[in-house]
Structure 1
Amino acid sequence: MSNPSRVIRSSNVLLLLTGYQMHWFDAKQQRYRISLPGVVNVFVLACVYAGCFAQHFQPSALLKTLQDVSPFLYGLTRLQLLLSIKVFSYAIYASVRAVGVASALTASLPLKSPPGHRHVKKELFAYGLLCSTFVVLLCFGLYIGYELEFKLPPLKDIMVGSALFVPHLVLAGALRFYCIFAWLARERLQQLQAEVDELLTIGQMRTEMQLVAGASSVSIAATPSTVDSLLSQCEQLQQLAANFGNFFDSLEHSLLLLLGINANCLLFGLYAFVYYSSTWYVLFDDRRQRIFYAGNASIYACIGCDYLCLLLAQTLLEQQVGIASNDLRDIWHGSKPKKQNNWNSGFKLVWLFFLQSIQFSERLSTALGQRTVLPKRMRRIAKDMRAILSNCFRFKFLSIWRFDVANFALLQLLQLLIIALIVIYHYLDDAIQLTNERFDSNNDE
Structure 2
Amino acid sequence: MNHSRILRITNVVLLLTGYQMHWFEKKSQRFRLSLPGVLNIFVLGVIYAGCFSQHFDSKSSLLKVLKDVSPFLFLLTRTQLLLGAKVFAYAVYSSVKSVGAVNSLVETLPTRHSGFRKDEVIAYVLLGSTFGILFCFVLYISYEMKFELPPLEDAMIGMALFLPHLILAGSLRLYIVLAWLTRGQLNELKRNAEEELRANMTKDEANIASTSFAISAKTTSVDTLENLKRKLEILGSSFRFFFQSIQHSLILLFAMNGNCLLGGIYSLTYYWNTWHIIFEDRKRRIFYAANASIYACIASDYICLMVVLFIMEKERMNFIRCLDLFLAQRNSLSKKMRPLAKDIKAILKRSFYTKFHSFLRFDLSYVSLMVFAQSIIISLIVIFHYLNDEILLLKEELNSKDD
TM-score higher than 0.5 here?
A: yes
Please state which band the TM-score falls in when normalised by the shorter chain.
over 0.9
C-alpha deviation, 1:114, in angstroms: 3.4
Does 2:80 correspond to 1:80? yes
TM-score, scaled relative to structure 1:
0.87
Q: Is the 2:180–2:308 contact (alpha carbons within 8 Å) kept by the matching residues of 1?
A: no
Distance in 2 separating the partners of 1:42 and 1:8: 20
Kindly provide the CA deviation profile for residues 257-284 of structure 1, in whole angstroms up to 9, marking residues without a partner as x: 1001000000000000000011100011
C-alpha deviation, 1:190, in angstroms: 1.2
CA gap of 1:311–1:23, structure 2 versus 1, over 3 A, is: closer
Q: What one-letter code is carried by the residue in structure 2 that aligns with 1:43? A: F
Q: How does 1:80-99 map to 2 (within 5 A)?
A: 80-99=80-99
Distance in 1 separating the partners of 2:200 and 2:212: 13
Distance in 2 separating the partners of 1:310 and 1:18: 19
C-alpha deviation, 1:101, in angstroms: 1.2
CA gap of 1:62–1:138, structure 2 versus 1, over 3 A, is: same
Distance in 2 separating the partners of 1:219 and 1:33: 48
Q: How does 1:364-375 map to 2 (within 5 A)?
A: 364-375=323-334
Tell me how many residue pairs correspond in the alignment.
Answer: 401
Does 2:231 correspond to 1:239? no
Match of 2:302 among 307, 316, 329: 307
Counterpart of 1:338? none
Q: Is the 2:3–2:109 contact (alpha carbons within 8 Å) kept by the matching residues of 1?
A: no
Q: How does 1:18-417 map to 2 (within 5 A)?
A: 18-59=17-58, 60-115=60-115, 120-210=117-207, 220=214, 223-312=218-307, 317=310, 349=311, 353-417=312-376
- Secondary structure (helix, strand or coil) at the match of 1:25 reads strand
Kindly provide the CA deviation profile for residues 214-254 of structure 1, in whole angstroms up to 9, marking residues without a partner as x: 9x968536521110010000000011111111101111110
C-alpha deviation, 1:90, in angstroms: 0.6
- Secondary structure (helix, strand or coil) at the match of 1:223 reads helix
Q: Indicate the RMSD between aligned Cα atoms, in angstroms.
A: 1.6
Does 2:2 correspond to 1:3? yes
TM-score, scaled relative to structure 2:
0.96
Q: Is the 1:29–1:107 contact (alpha carbons within 8 Å) kept by the matching residues of 2?
A: no
Q: What one-letter code is carried by the residue in structure 2 that aligns with 1:139? A: C
C-alpha deviation, 1:111, in angstroms: 3.1
Distance in 2 separating the partners of 1:133 and 1:112: 29
Range 164-173 or range 183-192, more displaced: 183-192
Kindly provide the CA deviation profile for residues 20-51 of structure 1, in whole angstroms up to 9, marking residues without a partner as x: 00000011111111100000000000010011
Q: Is the 1:395–1:403 contact (alpha carbons within 8 Å) kept by the matching residues of 2?
A: yes
Distance in 1 separating the partners of 2:345 and 2:386: 53
Q: What one-letter code is carried by the residue in structure 2 that aligns with 1:303? A: I
C-alpha deviation, 1:207, in angstroms: 2.1
Unaligned segments of structure 2, at least 5 residues: none
